[in-house]
Structure 1
Amino acid sequence: MRYLFALLLWCIATAAAAQPTRASLLIRNGRVLDGTGNGWYYADVAVAAGRIVAVGQLPASYPADSVLDARGLVVAPGFIDVHTHIEDDEVRQPTADNFLHDGVTTVITGNCGSSRPDLRRYFRQLDSLRLSVNVASLIGHGTVRKAVLGRARRAPTEAELQRMEALVDSAMQAGALGLSSGLIYVPGTYSRTPELVRLAGVAGCYRGLYATHMRSESDSIDAAIAEALRVGREAGVPVQISHLKLGGQPNWGRVAPVLAQIEAARRAGQPVTIDQYPYTASSTSMSTLLPDDVQADGRDSLRARLARPAVRAAVEAALLRRLRARGLRHFSYAVVASFPPDTSLQGLSLEQVNRRRGRPHRARAEAATILDLVLQYDAGMVFHGLSELDVQQIMSYPHNMVASDASIRVWREGVPHPRGYGSNARVLGRYVRELGVIRLEEAVRRMTSLPAQTFGLADRGLLRPGLAADIVVFDPATVQDRSTFERPHQYSVGMHYVLVNGRLTVRAGQHTGVRAGQVLYGAGRQH
């Protein structure tokens, strides 16, 4: 009798164990690209409590509250944008529509050396705000340096460097993914390599990486890459090179040796990866046109220096040398994206702004116009000056991720770079489907598992039971960016459904208003 009773209990337990977890949402009939880079296969994906609970040919009787038919569509992990700058717009636009319509479910901010200084406080703010996308952050070297040295153009003392190390240490314990640098921006431009090594080493103690906007992305790119690799070697951290490009017409066609330099480091055992936005124009602030020394110590000092005729003349001469180095006669390559003091200038090139102001159609007059504008406001700019062939060659590199280098776009505000609306869709539509630069499976890997692996996001980037249910369902035949330089405020098309932590956030191409994003923390987080 005891034996029969035990057998009955075993049978009941076995039946309970075999009973599948009831899904809140069951995605049927899709072509699954699981993020590994392997070929697609037909499978169903079951989601419950924000997690993937099953992937495979699930029985017709599988229990589910809701079923989504993905017939003819690709089911993939949600895309991870490794290079964003959302710190100024998350409160104004918490739904992050531009990212979600581009298939992005996770953004990494704090890039180019600029982050919130107190990440613990920032993460609490994000927790209460609840964006529609997940957010992780780096700690910015420029932010840390400014907190200790301001905009001083000098090396830190040992005591100051220790204070900087303490700030990085605190950020890593708060959950930062690593240290970022922006070495063309004040005050990052005033730092030297040993300072970067010391601070990156602190991030390395918490398994963080070093992500860098290098000192040069044009004439001196070889030395800039060498410095980035040195920081990684000496600090013992992985290196992530941000938005790799070759700016200026004289540098076009130099991609092969640049990639060879990176690949040589990888062959030697150094972990180094890159990211890229798929466009032939960059975007940053107008002040990057000015020499570093004139920008030291803040805007009051800048105004005082440019008030001196000799200094102003020297800066104008530097601007003209920059123009000649590009082989250009006018500043037509530089277009105003955002200029709040006079929004009518947005969308105009600096050549056009100069002519609108009734000044001579000469480069020297345009240089004077640039200084007048900078003294009013540090405008956001779009700089046209990249080669399409270079973009494609960089895209072919396998250790390269897709990134937008963008903020959360506020609808119809300014004339921003289209990368904030369409980077992933552009890769899938133009470079996969139309040009065949990379395979679809490889593109999805670059948007999912490679970013997750590089930045240590252990439960993202793959369609696997137990991992977070960040999922995008898109049509590979129609997915496409629509945003252009002339008309940037247009969402990508083809992303039919997007789930963030198991919640349906885009349905039939429309944002549902759901805000289920979470803060994602680095390995060093201490509660």
Structure 2
Amino acid sequence: MSEPVQLIIRQARIVDGSGAPAYDGELAVAGDRIAAVGPRGSVPAVPGATELDAGGRVLAPGFIDIHTHYDPQLCWDRLATPTPEHGVTSIVMGNCSIGMAPVRPGHRRKLVSLFGSVEDMESALLERTVPFAWESVAEYLAWQGRELGPNVGVLVGHAVLRLYVMGDAAQQRAATDDEIARMAALLEEALRAGALGLSFSFAHLDEAGHELPCHHADRRERLALLQAIARAGRGVVEVAPQLLNPDEGLRQLDEFGALSLETGVMVSLSPLLQSRGRREAWRELLARFEHWQARGAKLFAQTQVRPLDFTIRLSQGSAILAKMPGWRALLDLPVAERVRRFSDEAVRQALQLEIDTAPGMAGLAGTFVVKRAMGPANRALEGRRVREIAEERGRSFTDTLLDIALADGLETEFNQAVAHTDAAIVGDLLDHPAVHIGSADAGAHITQFSGAGDSGLLFERYVRERGRLTLERAVQRLTSDLAGAWGLRQRGALRPGWFADLVLFDAATIGRGEEVWADDLPGGSGRYVRGARGIEAVWVNGQLLVEGGRYTDARPGRIV
């Protein structure tokens, strides 16, 4: 080790990420690497090195979040807050077919609109904060790689790649042989520059309610892109399948299982959730993942720890309601105009018709609950389902939802728990070898939930409260299982010579804080965030990034 040892952590409970039993031990850091790790007394003192007494707390590899959308936020927040506070040292962004490069100057507004629509973010915020000081992926990685807090892996969005090569035709037709070749060459170039892989989405719509470019690609295009990854010797694929149509989602799963088998590329499909409407659907899907893995495919599901729930204020919007074009158009209006249109009887009838006829929406509407009223008119409704209130009043769901919201100036908070609410089933998925922990969407849908905090919830709910996973297994699921499959080399385990991404936490108290609103975005807008409990310190590449919930001045993160 060429660098001198600068830090020794003693009196730690070492959980090394491999799944092996914890032990009392110590660890030394030299430069950005782990110099030594072993049982108590195995690491000698080094003159000039800082010594830290861990006090019996757990020392583990830094956690990994494979499914974030911090692409625009990193343009104004190099820390990707609040994710590092939760012990996360490496994030992956560019998921769900949407990213920020490559981009032609004439496509910048379209890219902002796509990201705003797919990830449910205000386009005006993105226009204010994303500088587009790049065109190619290499230029983008160089720009984003400066002064990072956590490590960042960047997927190239298929929608973005297709738009760059095909322009408007990306959402109109299949690609020609020449266009496919150009996409494959650009992808290989991006991978050589340091991109982590490619992402697809069949589950989202653009700002006009049209299907994303992925829907217009055929299998030969998808095969050519996975072959490009295989040739590069680096890269993974993330896919958001069509879940509102289970048969179509299953077909896409099978196609990517076959593509993975044919090319040897790791493919991760997100999300696999326990659903309220089709309670056993997850079993059928999981069986297909097992089928493809048994055949040799590197095919994994992604699942999240928390329930898929939203806090909805109609002053901000709704990812679920916005999947219907009429609702989307109204939720894009200024609030004052929204109020006026939501009061119109004909508009309400049209909105209710959309809910009645759109696949799956009538069932999803039944999950709306009044979470918090802003004034006395709705206070007695807190905790009640909107559909039950509608039945009592003899009104439609839409009339009732809008009546309640308008009484609070559209600021009423509604909760919508869409899926993943059965903790027993979720626990089984979190521990399954065909499943990776991801799908949390940190950095996206920021006016409806905070995607940060799943790491703490895993220990709080599934280790301490339910005993479904051991401490060692939970750490393994957040570290080496992900690093190995996703190609984050020399990360995810406490081994000499590997990168010193570390988290020190109290196993008895680690958890996630309450979701709170923070008006901390550029231009004065806000988002939901969560703090962490029980995280004592976080190191990235050997440098202290978070201590006692506060960020240091270090910016040690890298593109990985």
TM-score category of the 2 structures, normalised to the smaller one: 0.7 to 0.9
RMSD between superposed Cα atoms in Å: 4.0
Q: 1:100 Cα shift?
A: 1.4
* Contact 1:134–1:517 (CA under 8 A) maintained in structure 2: yes
**What secondary structure is seen at the aligned counterpart in 2 of 1:121?**
helix
Tell me: CA distance 1:267–1:397, structure 2 relative to 1, closer, same or farther (3 Å). Answer: same
Aligned partner (choices 107, 113, 118) of residue 97 of structure 2: 113
Does 2:78 correspond to 1:94?
yes
1:104 matched to which residue of 2? Answer: 88
CA distance in 2, matches of 1:265, 1:471: 34
* Larger-Rg structure: 1
User: Normalised by the size of structure 1, how large is the TM-score?
Assistant: 0.77
Aligned residue number for residue 525 of structure 2: none
CA distance in 2, matches of 1:156, 1:365: 45
Does structure 2 conserve the Cα–Cα contact (< 8 Å) formed by 1:460 and 1:468? yes
Using the TM superposition, give the Cα deviation of residue 197 of structure 1 relative to its aligned residue in structure 2, in angstroms.
Answer: 2.1
State the 1:427 CA deviation.
Answer: 0.2
* Aligned pairs, number: 464
Range with bigger deviation, 197-206 or 69-78: 197-206
**Superposition deviation, residue 45 in structure 1:** 0.3
The change in CA–CA distance for 1:288 and 1:229 in structure 2 (over 3 A counts) is: farther
Query: Quick one: which amino acid aligns to residue 108 of structure 1?
Result: V
Q: Which amino acid aligns with 1:133?
A: P
Secondary structure of 1:146's aligned partner:
helix
The correspondence for 1:419, drawn from 446, 451, 463, is 451
Pick closer, same or farther for the CA change 1:324–1:117 going to 2, 3 Å. Answer: closer
- Which range moves more in the overlay, 27-36 or 268-277? 268-277
Secondary structure at the residue paired with 2:86? coil
- Of residues 114-123 and 448-457 in structure 1, the stretch that sits farther from structure 2 once superposed is 114-123
1:353-397 deviation digits (Å, cap 9, x = unpaired): xx9xxx99424658999xxxxxxxxxxx97633332432231131
Residue 83 of structure 1 aligns to which amino acid in structure 2? Answer: H
Which residue of the partner structure matches residue 555 of structure 2? 515
The answer to whether the 8 Å contact 2:98/2:159 transfers is yes
Change over 3 Å in CA distance of 1:313–1:238 after alignment to 2 = farther
Quick one: percent identity of the two aligned structures? 28
Residue 171 of structure 2 corresponds to residue 152 of structure 1: yes
Q: Name which of 430, 433, 448 aligns with 1:398.
A: 433
1:61 & 1:154 partners in 2: Cα distance?
66
The partner residue of 2:196 within 173, 177, 189 is 177
Matched residue type, 1:384: V
CA distance 1:237–1:60, shift in 2 (3 Å):
closer
How many angstroms does 1:484 deviate by?
3.6
Residues 188 and 40 (structure 1), Cα distance of their counterparts in 2 relative to 1, 3 Å cut: farther
Normalised to the residue count of structure 2, the TM-score between the two structures is 0.73
- SS where residue 56 of structure 2 aligns? coil
Matches within 5 A, 1:83-482: 83-118=67-102, 119-128=137-146, 130-147=147-164, 148-150=166-168, 152-186=171-205, 187-194=212-219, 195-206=221-232, 207-216=234-243, 219-220=246-247, 221-247=249-275, 249-281=276-308, 286=319, 290=323, 317-322=353-358, 327=363, 330=366, 332=368, 361-363=395-397, 384-388=418-422, 389-403=424-438, 405-408=440-443, 415-420=447-452, 422-482=453-513
In the TM superposition, what is the alpha-carbon distance from 1:333 to its structure 2 partner?
A: 6.8
Amino acid at match of 2:197: G
Range with bigger deviation, 116-125 or 440-449: 116-125
Deviation of residue 497 (structure 1)?
1.1
User: Equivalent residue of 1:251, what SS?
Assistant: coil
Per-residue CA shift, 1:454-500, capped at 9, x if unaligned? Answer: 11111211111111111001111110111348895330111101111
Q: Out of 21, 26, 39, which is 1:39 matched to?
A: 21
Residue deviations 1:125-162 (CA, integer Å, cap 9, x gap): 1233x121111111111111222243523222333323
What whole-Å deviation, never above 9, does each CA across 1:431-451 have from its counterpart, x for those lacking one? 111111211111111111111
Equivalent residues of 1:323, 1:331 under 8 A apart: no
Aligned partner letter, 2:156:
I
Distance 1:30 1:52 in 2: 15
Question: Compared with structure 1, are the counterparts of its residues 224 and 29 closer, same or farther at alpha carbon in structure 2 (3 Å cutoff)?
Answer: same
Label 1:368 to 1:146 Cα distance change in 2 as closer, same or farther (>3 A): farther
Query: Residues 151 and 559 of structure 2 are in contact (CA less than 8 Å); yes or no, is this contact kept in structure 1?
Result: yes
Shift of 1:59: 4.9
Structure 1: segments with no counterpart, 5+ residues: 1-16, 300-311, 337-347, 370-380, 521-527
Match of 1:303 in 2: none
- Residues 367/201 of structure 1: CA separation in 2 closer, same or farther (3 Å cut): farther
Distance in 2 between the 1:315 and 1:199 partners?
A: 40
Matching residue's letter, 1:513: D
SS in 2 for 1:96: coil
